[in-house]
């Protein structure tokens, strides 16, 4: 059933597995303090690689969230999704979210790349009989959303968006629409990714997309800085619980923020590079603003933008151009930051954790910083909140995600009580 009058959507739970911490509290405190998670790669020997750094998750123990036998059958990106989903449910104050009115929409860009590499090694060695019986289920991206649904008993829509670095944001936006416009009450949503592998690092090196600042890992991710030389591959999961507004109120839930709008677009330009004029990003932001206008949001209500801000030359400049086009003179007054300066770029999971950061920024009135912004690019001349977080009362805020293939997604959230 589709509703003629859109319903409101609340963010009531957050679960995080990130390079700067495991769990909401540890991660968010690190982000507010400007602490990064980039360091030398430990997953495989890096001798001979151009890039030897990444933003790895540290100290994750899968058995804390699932049975040991089950963990062995699940790739790391699936383990992260299950763990973060269970954290989010717990954070929402619920013990049971199962049922036909509950679903799962997650984003993931590359899926089980490590399983593919490991099993291809067996083929290359002439041992096809040694291919794991769990290879295909461990590799395909939708096993993240599928396993979360199995663990939590979610009988509603089960969807995996694979739209590169916009996947997590597309997932959150689609999940919100399923609650707003259709007869679903709760969605587990966000993104997950884990591809710190030889093939991924080599592939990104081949297109000169990632940083080679191996001697200074903590300073390698530097969005909007003149000396940036590419993004840093990160991993983890960011999961949110979205609920129909009255359902959340009736059970006395703590609400972090309200989802006000979602916009998507395509550059239709190039398979990896954004257009210089930022036209696809402009369209996605305007689509999100138009969607949020149904809740009477205006341009002046946006008090913060969590930028895509990858630390690549082309993206950071194009996003700056797009922000100026959308906000006009207001662009120079709005605080904008890239949390990728601390977490690295979580690819398909980026929109999940950044949507969580958006909700937390609104809830606490804290804008996280862009670290390593020592020498701003003259072409990136907006207020990118260098080095230190700021305390700002936020009525509404926006998060941008742009991906290879020219795919774009934008989420807008608002403060509880500001949109009655």
**Domain regions of the chain by residue span:** 9-408
CA 282 vs CA 271, 274, 409: distances in Å: 18, 11, 10
pLDDT of 180 reads 96
Asked if pLDDT for residue 64 goes beyond 60, the answer is yes
Confidence of residue 70 (pLDDT cuts 50, 70, 90): confident
Is 104 considered catalytic here?
no
Q: What's 369's DSSP letter?
A: P
- Per-residue 3-state assignment (H helix, E strand, C coil) for 143-195: HHHHHHHHHHCECCCEEEECCHHHHHHHHHHHHHHHHHHECCCEEEEEEEECC
Is 308 considered catalytic here?
yes
Is 35 considered catalytic here?
no
pLDDT of 33 reads 98
pLDDT of 125 reads 85
Q: What's 15's DSSP letter?
A: E
Average pLDDT on 59-77 reads 94
Return the CATH number of the domain spanning residue range 9-408. 3.40.47.10
Please give the structure tokens belonging to residue 226: 């003149």
Average pLDDT on 294-313 reads 96
CB–CB of 358/411 below 8 Å?
A: yes
CB–CB of 212/50 below 8 Å?
A: yes
Asked if pLDDT for residue 25 goes beyond 70, the answer is yes
Asked if pLDDT for residue 413 goes beyond 90, the answer is yes
CB–CB of 375/227 below 8 Å?
A: yes
Q: What is the pTM of this model?
A: 0.96
3-class state of residue 373 by DSSP:
coil
Average pLDDT on 61-81 reads 94
Average pLDDT on 383-389 reads 98
Give CA 117 to chain center in angstroms: 25
Q: Of residues 108, 170, 308, 363, which has the active-site annotation?
A: 308
Q: Of residues 104, 108, 170, 345, which has the active-site annotation?
A: 345
pLDDT of 123 reads 84
Q: Of residues 104, 108, 165, 380, which has the active-site annotation?
A: 165
pLDDT, one tens digit per residue, over 224-260 is 999 999 999 999 999 999 999 999 999 999 999 999 9
Average pLDDT on 336-344 reads 98
pLDDT of 133 reads 82
> Considering only 72-81, 170-179, 270-279, which range has the smallest mean pLDDT?
270-279
Confidence of residue 4 (pLDDT cuts 50, 70, 90): low
């Amino acid at each position: 059933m589709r509703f003629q009058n859109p319903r409101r959507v609340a963010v009531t739970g957050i679960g995080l597995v990130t390079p700067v911490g495991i769990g909401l509290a540890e991660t968010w405190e690190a982000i507010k303090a400007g602490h990064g998670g980039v360091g030398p790669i430990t997953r495989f020997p890096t001798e001979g690689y151009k890039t030897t750094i990444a933003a790895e998750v540290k100290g994750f123990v899968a058995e804390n969230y699932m049975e040991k036998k089950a963990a062995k059958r699940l790739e790391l990106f699936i383990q992260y999704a299950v763990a973060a989903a269970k954290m989010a449910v717990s954070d929402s104050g619920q013990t049971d979210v199962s049922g036909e009115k509950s679903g799962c929409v997650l984003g993931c860009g590359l899926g089980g790349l490590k399983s593919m590499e490991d099993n291809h090694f067996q083929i290359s060695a002439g041992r096809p009989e040694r291919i794991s019986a769990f290879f295909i289920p461990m590799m395909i991206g939708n096993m993240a959303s599928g396993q979360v649904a199995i663990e939590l008993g979610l009988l509603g829509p089960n969807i995996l968006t694979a739209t590169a670095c916009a996947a997590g944001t597309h997932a959150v936006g689609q999940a919100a629409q399923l609650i707003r416009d259709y007869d679903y009450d709760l969605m587990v949503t966000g993104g997950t990714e884990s591809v710190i592998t030889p093939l991924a690092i080599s592939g990104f090196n081949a297109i000169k997309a990632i940083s080679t600042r191996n001697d200074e890992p903590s300073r390698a991710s530097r969005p909007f800085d003149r000396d940036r030389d590419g993004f840093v591959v990160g991993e983890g999961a960011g999961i949110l619980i979205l609920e129909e507004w009255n359902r959340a109120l009736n059970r006395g839930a703590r609400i972090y923020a309200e989802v006000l709008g979602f916009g998507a677009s395509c550059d239709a330009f190039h398979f990896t590079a954004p257009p210089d004029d930022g036209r696809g990003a402009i369209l996605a932001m305007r689509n999100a603003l138009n969607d949020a206008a149904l809740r009477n949001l205006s341009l002046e209500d946006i008090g913060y933008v969590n930028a895509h801000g990858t630390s690549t030359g082309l993206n950071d400049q194009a996003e700056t151009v797009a922000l100026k086009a959308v906000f006009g003179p207001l662009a120079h007054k709005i605080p904008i930051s890239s949390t990728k300066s601390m977490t690295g770029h979580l690819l398909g999971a980026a929109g999940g954790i950044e949507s969580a950061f958006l909700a937390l920024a609104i809830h606490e009135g804290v804008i996280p910083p862009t670290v390593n912004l020592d020498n701003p690019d003259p072409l990136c001349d907006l207020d990118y909140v260098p080095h230190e977080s700021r305390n700002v009362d936020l009525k509404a805020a926006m998060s941008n995600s742009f991906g290879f293939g020219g795919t774009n997604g934008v989420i807008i959230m608002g403060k509880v009580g500001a949109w009655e």
